[in-house]
Amino acid sequence: MIDLIFYVVMFYVLHLFLKMGFSSHKIPFVNFTHVGGDISNMTELSNRVALAADNLRQTLPVFLTFSVLSVVLDIENLLLAQIWFGLRILYLIGAILNLYTIPLLRPAIWVPSVVVLVMMGTNLL
């Protein structure tokens, strides 16, 4: 489980750099380095990745809390954590490929990830 926690945190860091990386040909790096930098020229891909990162930030604290508690309390939640991580990877891929123009596809990936978090939490009780 500790390895998976590390991979999830690195996945989050990747999200941070993808936003900048997909617009680096249109926006100078220095504009990403300060609050007053003009990043209004971001590509549509960067915007989608930024939205995926925002979505990840909504559930990441819950995931990390449940994962750390699973380790501390010695409760087996590894499979559920792996499923959650796999769904988050699918969510990012869907954002990159612009698949969320298809109705109900986005919630078909996001809702199960929330259900998995609920299952992880109930295992801790």
Q: Which of 15, 117, 1 is nearest to 57 (CA)?
A: 15
For helices 44-72 and 105-124, angle between their N-to-C axes, nearest 10 degrees: 20
Q: Which of 92, 89, 84 is nearest to 113 (CA)?
A: 84
CATH number of the domain to which 49 belongs: 1.20.120
pLDDT at 113 (0 to 100): 97
Q: Check: CB of residue 50 under 8 Å from CB of residue 57.
A: no
pLDDT at 28 (0 to 100): 74
Residue 68 exposure: Cα atoms within 13 Å on the Cβ side = 7
Instruction: Give CA torsion, residues 47, 49, 51, 53, to 10 deg.
Output: -140
Distance CA 16, CA 46 (A): 10
Q: Which domain holds residue 20?
A: 2-124
pLDDT at 33 (0 to 100): 63
Mean pLDDT on 52-61: 95
pLDDT classification of 31: cutoffs 50, 70, 90? low
57-96 tens-digit pLDDT: 999 999 999 999 999 999 999 999 999 999 999 999 999 9
pTM score of the predicted model? 0.89
Distance CA 67, CA 59 (A): 12
Average pLDDT, the chain: 91
Structural domains of the chain, count: 1
